[in-house]
Chain A
Amino acid sequence: MNKILRVNMTDLTTRTEPVPAAWAGLGGRALTSTIVAAEVPATCHALGENNKLVFAPGLLTGTPAANSGRLSAGAKSPLTGTIKESNAGGTAAQMLARLGIKALIIEGLPTGDTWYSLHVSNEGVTIQEETELLGKGNFAVIEALEARLGKKTGILTIGPAGELKMTAANISVKDPDSKIRSHGRGGLGAVMGSKKIKFITINDQGAPGVKIAEPEKFKVAARTFAKALLDHPVSGEGLPTYGTNVLVNILNEAGGLPTRNFTSGQFHAHDTISGETMYETIVSRGGKHKHGCHAGCIIQCSQVYTCTEGKYLTSGFEYETIWGLGADCCIENLDDIAQADNIMDDIGIDSIETAVMFGVAMEAGILPFGDGKGMIRLLEEEIGKGTPLGRILGGGAASVGKAYGVTRVPVVKNQAIPAYDPRSVKGIGITYATSTMGADHTSGYTIATNILNVGGFVDPLKKEGQVELSRNLQIATAAVDSTGMCIFVAFPALDIPECLPALIDMINARFGISLTGDDVTNLGKQVLKTERQFNMDAGFGKEHDRLPEFFKHEPVAPHNAVWDFSDEEIDEFWNF
């Protein structure tokens, strides 16, 4: 990959630049965060002209390496005010990599009211005016663009939520079935909307492809790596069968399933929304229980969930969404949750932020707990249409909490806490508190070791070992997020000794270099420190690495656990 595409939306110019030497060894999150830290003033307004939106495929994206087709998107987040990297599957990452594009950087803001689209091809990037698809949902955008430009077109798009600059808005990426994966968290859709870009299309015809420096060495490593993914029971069997939603019953049994806006750790109707029930439902209706979000995914945690008549209802139906609308909002009907997932894809809004937001909205009395139909109405009629109430809801959990005076608002740095209660799964609480992204489970997924017995076991209800666990995982994740790999490769990497060396061998063979395990760890540390420095420059200190107060004072059933880390204990995290 040898070029950077730069788009200036203020003067509507584009440039193709060579890759600076300092960026040559970076990809994915390492690259988006390095560019944002270097070029975006930390104190800028996230929706103003000084923020930049950066897309970067990973170091291994575009190669035959299994599960390497993820795309990183980065910017200053309008939701958290911190730096943000959000990665997603879909077809765009591999197309950009094959085109030799290391990063696409979008800067500036148009002065007028005109909306635009970008088109990326082997010739570079161009800017067009757009009128026809404004206000349209993401599914309609994808359908229209495939008709306009051909079925193979890669697409990044924002829905009405992004156009309206809602801080929970996401960026949708077309998947291999012309459906949607999302750069979900942190409101990056609002950043794209602020730059008045409705969509970005990609045509990879004539792309030079990805050159591998040492093909034989690569092949051997790629085979070892793929075998590890298929051999591990989580990535080889659990995820393809039940998807991530198998976690509903596990977290419920362990007492860490946040329920009724984080007032209990168990949900009475857990079985109706569980992965087991979902699997049976999908199979009986003729849907697909396994499905990959990009070509080359061999884990296939995604699925196609159909309605009773067998028609597509949603895909990429994740545990966090189902937990949030299910247990946290007490909605017991999986079809209602699936329909909501589809609407959130269409209007382009983060399903984690929005699900947690509904829990707060229910506590605020905007609608009753358990009201699935009411939730669907609010999505379609208020958020989707951008009414004043819809804009408050579309601002996420903290926005609703503030507007309605709710004090039990589960957020860190303004971003919603997902699907694992930090009182009864303490390691993940350290991750929520310290992550450079605001509350984010993926940035240091201690659930693996706290709950799933992957990578050893650290008792979820005790404080011992949690800070170190979270630190090690956050460092490793920052490195993995830079390779273009799906984070689920971490399961085999934690347990199967050949897996991580094979991953490093693939990077070495791809570039003809000789990184060691320590180099990769150092890359992870470097990424975290770069991100943290940006956040400190933006005004965030250690006093922001804290969970909301209520976790300290409200014991959660069934273990009656509270969040009992002292500030000093949390701050140990950054000692590396």
Chain B
Amino acid sequence: MNITVKLFATFRNGRFKMDHQDWPEGVDCRRIVASLGLTEEEIGIVLINGRHVPLDQVLGHGDTLSLFPLVGGG
């Protein structure tokens, strides 16, 4: 199934801003994070379609996954 993956801040270094990826049914955020060479400790914010989710959240067809390191403050 089709998943849009968006990366932000330092996660973009050597990777991409946005990528359309094909994943089997039942994939969770953790698996996609691992495929990007990111460790769980590095992950600050995980959003699916703009909603905060835990790493073990399962994705559905057409979902957008956004990943941020721990950053922020205004």
Contact = CB atoms under 8 A, between A and B. Distances in A.
A234 B6 contact: no
B50 interface: yes
A441 B47 contact: no
A4 B23 CA distance: 68
Task: Give the most central of B6, B17, B66, B68: most A CB within 10 Å.
Answer: B68
A246 B71 contact: yes
Contacts of A559: 50-51
A238 B45 contact: no
B43 to A, nearest CB: 9
Contact of A319 (B17, B50, B70, B74): B74
Contact of A276 (B9, B52, B70, B73): B9
B52 A238 contact: no
B71 to A, nearest CB: 3
A419 B72 CA distance: 13
A255 B50 CA distance: 6
Interface on chain B toward A: helix, strand, loop, or mixed SS?
mixed
B66 A238 contact: no
B16 to A, nearest CB: 12
Nearest to B66: A253
A237 B12 CA distance: 15
A452 B8 CA distance: 13
A239 B74 CA distance: 9
A250 B68 contact: yes
Contacts of A241: 9-10, 71
A254 B73 contact: no
B12 A238 contact: no
Residues of A in contact with B, size category: 35 or more
A301 B47 CA distance: 25
B44 interface: yes
B69 interface: yes
A301 B74 CA distance: 9
B50 to A, nearest CB: 4
A452 B17 CA distance: 20
Interface string A222-263: 000000000001110111011010110110011100000000
B71 A238 contact: yes
A254 B74 contact: no
A235 B73 contact: yes
Nearest to A557: B50
A318 B74 contact: yes
A244 B8 contact: no
Task: Give the most central of B8, B9, B52, B72: most A CB within 10 Å.
Answer: B72
Contacts of A254: 47, 50, 52
A371 interface: no
Interface in B38-74: 44-45, 47, 49-52, 66, 68-74
Interface residues of B, number: 21
Task: Give the most central of B8, B47, B73, B74: most A CB within 10 Å.
Answer: B74
A461 B69 contact: no
A559 B71 CA distance: 23
A318 B73 CA distance: 10
Nearest to B10: A241
Given A253-B66, A452-B44, A247 B9 contact: no
A572 B72 CA distance: 29
A97 to B, nearest CB: 25
B9 A238 contact: yes
Nearest to A247: B74
A231 to B, nearest CB: 12
Nearest to A418: B74
Contacts of A250: 8, 45, 68, 71-72
A382 interface: no
Contacts of A247: 72-74
Contacts of A491: 73
A341 B53 CA distance: 36
A565 interface: no
Given A238-B9, A242-B9, A253-B6, A233 B50 contact: no
B47 A253 contact: yes
B65 to A, nearest CB: 10
B10 A452 contact: no
Interface string B1-36: 000001011101000010000000000000000000
Nearest to B67: A253
Interface in A240-296: 241-242, 244, 246-247, 249-250, 253-255, 271, 275-276
Nearest to B50: A255
Contacts of B71: 233-234, 237-239, 241-242, 246, 250, 452
Given A320-B74, A419-B74, A253 B50 contact: yes
B12 A234 contact: no
B51 A301 contact: no
A453 B45 contact: yes
Given A233-B44, A253-B66, A451-B45, A275 B74 contact: no
A527 B64 CA distance: 44
A460 interface: yes
Contact of A441 (B66, B68, B74): B74
Contacts of B49: 558
B50 A453 contact: no
Contacts of A488: 73
17 contacts: A234-B70, A238-B69, A241-B10, A242-B71, A246-B71, A249-B8, A250-B45, A250-B68, A254-B47, A319-B74, A419-B74, A447-B74, A451-B52, A451-B72, A452-B70, A457-B52, A558-B49
Given A301-B73, A447-B74, A488-B73, 4 more contacts: A233-B69, A246-B71, A249-B9, A453-B44
Shortest 4 CB-CB distances between A and B: which pairs? A238-B71, A233-B70, A319-B74, A244-B74
